[in-house]
Amino acid sequence: MNYDEQLKSFKHLIKIGPKTVLELSILLKNKLTVQEIGAGKFSDYYREALKLNAFYCINNEKLQIMPDEMVFRFFEVIMDERARQYFAAEPNTLLMQDMCYIVFEEKTGYMCSSSNKLFIDMMLARGVSQEDYDNESLQFRALLGYLASDFE
């Protein structure tokens, strides 16, 4: 799907925002049964990778929050009927996909999840700024690409 097709198919779904990590965590808690968990559930390597990913994310281009200043919040999604769609059909314990989780970084707004669907749903819920929407910025284009990848 080329960019023009993505615009036609998905632009109307993108909300003007963006929501903060606090707002997203409240939305997450209303949508699913979640439990905030400690970073210790994840390996040192994974936590370091999160810091680097958050440092180099699009949201941090202007902010330039340093990795040692970042504050991560980890949420485990508890399996129930509402959450079933977010769990892998065949869990991969090596990649910690036996557990469905989402991680937010509070200052940059960076997020990642073991579930592609949950990640895309939360990115869509967060939305983009009016400026990003009007100028079809990298943030806007990234979200458009995530939506297109979920569609295909």
Q: What confidence score (pLDDT) does residue 20 get? A: 95
Task: For the sheet with 111-113, list strands across it.
Answer: 34-37, 72-77, 100-105, 111-113
Evaluated on CA atoms 80, 83, 87, 93, the torsion sign reads: negative
pLDDT in the model for residue 87: 84
What does each C-alpha distance from 31 to 19, 81, 104, 135 come to in angstroms?
15, 11, 16, 31
Between helix 21-31 and helix 116-126 the angle, nearest 10°, is 130
pLDDT at 90: 58
- Residue 99 has a pLDDT of 83
**With a cut of 50, which residues of the chain have pLDDT below it?**
93-94
- What residues contact residue 60 under an 8 Å CB cut-off, 6+ apart? 54, 108, 110
Q: What is the predicted pLDDT for the residue at 97?
A: 52
Give residue 89's pLDDT. 65
The two structure tokens encoding residue 47: 């936590």
- pTM assigned to the model: 0.89
The secondary structure element, H or E, covering residue 82 is: none
For residue 93, the model assigns a pLDDT of: 46
